[in-house]
Amino acid sequence: MNPEPETIAEMLDRLSEIVPDYPSAGISFKDLTPVFADGQGLRRIVDEVIEPFRGQFDVIAGLEARGFVLAAAGAYATGTGMITVRKAGKLPREVFRDEYTLEYGTGTLEIHRDDVAPGTRVLILDDVLATGGTVGSAVRLLELAGAEVIGVGVVLELDGLGGREKLDGHTVHSLQLV
């Protein structure tokens, strides 16, 4: 008899690393870089994170930096474009800017004003949803540009931090709740 195929949660448990007290005391950092470094792992998380949204988006927005990995791969796989949602000061032309709070600090995100045409249907991807501050900021930026955020996809969703509730009204798809 064939063994049962590995579930996505089993694959993530096998490949991802948990780093205690990083980047500061009390934070349990979920490091997905070994999943990115694994050929089957990368393909599987990208395919599964975009799956419920197939056919519903024109472009994928990735959040700097680990969201870029997922968004670029997903955009390539679906023949769509990619928007880079960047940390402050990286984009050379006129930007929309939004300040937000995250699990361990504050930040500012920016997009180029002309990267998204009004009415564009956007899927947002990132590696980890914690408090939802980062994704919430990206939603505000894209909506400011006139885009329609059709959904949010993340690999890991941290339980008990209220991220999903903060994104109330938007469809959130996570591959594993941890």
List of residues contacting ligand AMP (CB under 6 A): 27-30, 63, 66, 102-103, 126-134, 158, 163
**Distance between CA atoms of residues 102 and 95, nearest Å:** 21
Active-site entry in 6, 14, 17, 103: 103
| Nearest distance in Å: CB 92, ligand AMP | 23
**Beta-strand runs (E) in the chain:** 17-20, 28-31, 59-63, 81-87, 95-102, 105-112, 121-129, 148-157, 172-177
* Residue placing its CB nearer to ligand AMP in the complex, 132 or 151: 132
- Taking Cα atoms as reference points, which of 100, 112, 174, 173 lies closest to residue 147? 112
* Residue placing its CB nearer to ligand AMP in the complex, 4 or 68: 68
Active-site entry in 44, 66, 86, 164: 66
Q: State the DSSP code for 14.
A: H
- Tell me whether strands 17-20 and 28-31 are parallel, antiparallel or unpaired: antiparallel
| Nearest distance in Å: CB 71, ligand AMP | 12
Catalytic residue flag (residue 14): no
| Nearest distance in Å: CB 167, ligand AMP | 9
* Residue placing its CB nearer to ligand AMP in the complex, 54 or 87: 87
Specify burial of residue 38 (Cβ count, 10 A radius: 0-12, 13-18, 19+). middle
* Residue placing its CB nearer to ligand AMP in the complex, 27 or 42: 27
Catalytic residue flag (residue 103): yes
| Nearest distance in Å: CB 5, ligand AMP | 27
**Distance between CA atoms of residues 72 and 83, nearest Å:** 9
**Distance between CA atoms of residues 158 and 18, nearest Å:** 12
Q: Active-site positions? A: 66, 103
